[in-house]
């Protein structure tokens, strides 16, 4: 690995030139694409997109399961000079309608089944709808081929819509440079090589999911996209394809740890990566037990700046709850309520500075101004920073720890409580596998604590354990057990839905 990653961004479609011609680049159902195939197919698709939407910066939306089109669209759209708007295939019509109208998409490419499911009003009148097969047939009939682009790396290349957990989805604007440097950074600190094989189980409309493709391809490796139904599907794919890199979010890791892993599914695994929520100490131990030879990367990110921190795998056992330190090309500051650098051990807001910071929210100046603000004076990068709203603290070694979101903190009887602290205590008790703590408005307390759990159902045992570990003001007023936690389209626990449900239950 070189002493430092190359900080010079390039047009995103140049990722298609990173691998060796005969090596595998993409493994699909029933077919594999070599790097030479990948280059040719990107050039073919890009030529058709440029013909279909000749206006520079036109938005092209895709609403498909994982396949050749969804995997190649990020590069082909970049080469064609259009802006890709990937839509999570799990989203419902109302959310798709919002994204299409908000982005001003001129074209929607969807699976044939999704095209048939569309109803009047779902798609703007100015938006052309094409089936996935129809799109490929048209591209092959045109038979064009676009050479690598010479785009300005600062040009807009993608709009990724957040899951909408705090309201209607927001479109985060990403440049070639954002995505290119994100790929370089992750490939570098993960130590990825050209013989790596990544199992892409996360949605490709999710920044973490899309980076599975981009960072692997930057290293010249191979991606195996997988739309899985059960955790066993993931394990079988790991064995079949000799997967070396697996990325997931905590709810999926919880399911995977509960499974039996045969040796052939574990043997080739070099690294596991986690984001989208913190791993518990028990989950870290479970993963380390199943994959003792693999490096476990705990990471923190936000769509507005892609990825902010990672924990060196050598520190996972000694610091299992840490977010680690800044990734390459990121500067992470902890700013106290007075606008100064927080001291070690002091809580503050995580502020992300540097070239991974996105260009703001699409056509939403008000919300952009709330989150994208001038970097603090002490920043070495300067410019615009993302003020995350997440509360963190840094220890004497410089390692970061997540405290909670500013808008998710529970204020009860004059005390400020981190939901994460209560959730970790519930899981550490052994009575719960997953936990979400919610503050529900209460006239007397300010907030009453509701604890929603998946686990044993033993409320008496859990309450006894919590009383022995936590002060009285942190004890939950209500404990609710669920057979399965609801998930949002990115596979994370749907905290917004749980919060609405709990608040409605006392209304």
Q: What is the 3-state secondary structure (H, E, C) of 449-471?
A: EEEEEEECCCHHHHHHHHHHHCC
- Clarify whether residues 395 and 491 are in a common domain: no
User: What pLDDT score does 145 carry?
Assistant: 97
* Whether 155 and 297 share a structural domain: no
* Tens digits of pLDDT across the chain (507 residues): 556 899 999 999 999 999 999 999 999 998 999 999 999 999 999 999 999 999 999 999 999 999 999 999 999 999 999 999 999 888 878 789 999 999 999 999 999 999 999 988 889 999 999 999 999 999 999 999 999 999 999 999 999 998 643 457 789 999 999 999 999 999 999 999 999 999 999 999 999 999 999 999 999 999 999 999 999 999 999 999 999 999 998 889 989 999 999 999 999 999 999 987 778 888 999 999 999 999 999 999 989 998 999 999 999 999 988 999 999 999 999 999 999 999 999 999 999 999 999 999 999 999 999 999 999 999 999 999 999 999 999 999 999 998 877 667 787 866 768 788 899 889 999 999 999 999 998 877 778 999 999 999 999 999 999 998 887 888 999 999 999 999 988 888 998 899 999 989 887
Query: Do 245 and 383 fall within a single domain?
Result: yes
Residue 202 gets which letter from DSSP? Answer: S
Q: Which residue has the tokens 């993302």?
A: 386
Of 406, 435, 460, the last residue of a domain is: 406
Domain match, 358 and 413 both: no
pLDDT of the residue at 432 = 94
**Are 46 and 167 in a shared domain?**
yes
Residue 198 lies in a domain: no
Burial 252-291 (b: 16+ CB within 10 A, else e): bbbbbbeeebeeebbebbbbbbbbbbbbbebbbebbbebb
| Phi and psi, residue 397, nearest 5° | -85, 0
User: How many structural domains comprise the chain?
Assistant: 3
251 and 387 co-located in one domain: yes
Dihedral angle computed from the Cα positions of residues 460, 464, 465 and 470, in that order, rounded to the nearest 10 degrees: 130
Q: Please indicate, yes or no, whether residues 253 and 358 belong to a single structural domain of this protein.
A: yes
What domain range includes position 262?
228-406
Rounded to whole angstroms, how far apart are CA atoms 472 and 346? 23
Q: What is the CATH number for 139? A: 3.40.50.12780
CB atoms within 10 A of CB 128: 14
Residue 189 lies in a domain: no
Residues 446 and 350 in one domain: no
Is 205 among the domain residues?
Answer: no
Kindly state whether residue 219 falls inside one of the protein's structural domains: no
Q: Report the pLDDT value the prediction gives residue 33, as an integer from 0 to 100.
A: 98
Residue 182 belongs to a domain: no
Question: Same domain, yes or no, for 445 and 371?
Answer: no
364 and 419 inside one domain: no
Rounded-to-integer distance, Cα 350 and Cα 390, Å = 6
Q: Is residue 190 part of a domain?
A: no
Distance (Å, whole) CA 344 – CA 216: 35
Per-residue pLDDT of 102-157, as tens digits, reads 999 999 999 999 999 998 888 999 999 999 999 999 999 999 999 999 999 999 99
Per-residue pLDDT, 166: 41
> Is residue 314 in a domain?
yes
Q: Is residue 215 part of a domain?
A: no
Final residue of a structural domain among 130, 145, 175: 175
Beta-bridged to residue 128, according to DSSP, are 107
Residues 38, 72 contacting (CB under 8 angstroms)? yes
CATH label of the domain that carries residue 469? 3.30.300.30
Q: Are residues 96 and 243 in the same domain?
A: no
Out of 160, 175, 190, a domain closes at 175
- Helix 176-190 with 207-218: angle, nearest 10 deg: 70
If asked whether residues 360 and 401 sit together in one domain, one would say: yes
Predicted model pTM: 0.86
């Amino acid at each position: 690995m070189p002493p430092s990653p190359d900080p010079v961004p390039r047009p995103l479609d140049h990722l298609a030139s990173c691998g060796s011609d005969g090596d595998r680049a993409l493994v699909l159902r029933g077919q594999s694409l070599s790097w030479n195939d990948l280059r040719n197919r990107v050039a073919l698709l890009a030529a058709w997109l440029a013909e279909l939407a000749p206006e520079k910066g036109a938005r092209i939306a895709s609403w498909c399961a994982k396949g050749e089109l969804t995997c190649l669209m990020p590069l082909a759209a970049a080469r064609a000079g259009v802006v890709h708007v990937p839509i999570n295939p799990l989203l419902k019509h109302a959310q798709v309608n919002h994204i299409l109208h908000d982005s001003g998409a001129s074209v929607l490419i969807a699976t044939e089944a999704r095209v048939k499911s569309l109803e009047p009003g779902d798609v703007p009148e100015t938006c052309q709808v094409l089936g996935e097969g129809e799109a490929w047939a048209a591209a092959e009939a045109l038979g064009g081929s676009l050479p690598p682009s010479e785009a300005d790396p600062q040009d807009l290349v993608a709009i990724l819509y957040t899951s909408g957990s705090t309201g209607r989805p927001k479109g985060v604007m990403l440049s070639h440079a954002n995505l290119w440097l994100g790929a370089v950074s992750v490939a570098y600190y993960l130590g990825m090589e050209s013989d790596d094989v990544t199992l892409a189980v996360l949605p490709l409309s999710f920044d973490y999911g899309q980076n599975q493709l981009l960072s692997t391809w930057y290293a010249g490796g191979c991606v195996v996209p997988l739309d899985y139904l059960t955790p066993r599907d993931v394990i079988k794919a790991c064995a079949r394809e000799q997967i070396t890199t697996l990325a997931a979010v905590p709810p999926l890791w919880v399911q995977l740890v509960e499974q039996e892993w045969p040796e052939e599914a574990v043997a080739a695994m070099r690294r596991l990566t986690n984001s989208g929520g913190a791993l518990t100490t028990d989950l870290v131990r479970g993963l380390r037990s199943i994959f003792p030879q693999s490096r476990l990367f705990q990471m923190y990110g936000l769509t507005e700046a892609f990825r902010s921190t990672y924990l060196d795998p050598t520190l996972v056992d000694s610091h299992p709850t840490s977010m680690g330190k800044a990734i390459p090309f990121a500067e992470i500051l902890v700013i106290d309520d007075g606008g100064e650098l927080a001291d070690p051990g002091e809580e503050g807001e995580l502020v992300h500075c540097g070239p991974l910071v996105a260009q703001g929210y699409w056509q939403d100046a008000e919300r952009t101004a709330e989150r994208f603000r001038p970097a603090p004076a002490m920043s070495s990068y300067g410019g615009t920073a993302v003020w995350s709203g997440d509360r963190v603290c840094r220890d004497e070694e410089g390692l970061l720890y997540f405290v909670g979101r500013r808008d998710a903190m529970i204020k009860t009887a004059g005390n400020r409580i981190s939901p994460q602290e209560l959730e970790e205590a519930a899981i550490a008790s052994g009575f719960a596998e997953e936990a979400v703590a919610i503050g529900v408005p209460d006239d007397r307390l300010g907030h009453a604590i509701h604890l929603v759990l998946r686990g044993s159902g033993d409320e008496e045992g859990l309450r006894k354990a919590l009383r022995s570990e936590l002060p009285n003001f942190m004890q939950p007023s209500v404990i609710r057990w669920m057979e399965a936690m609801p998930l949002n389209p990115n596979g994370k626990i749907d905290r917004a839905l749980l919060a609405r449900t709990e608040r409605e239950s006392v209304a």
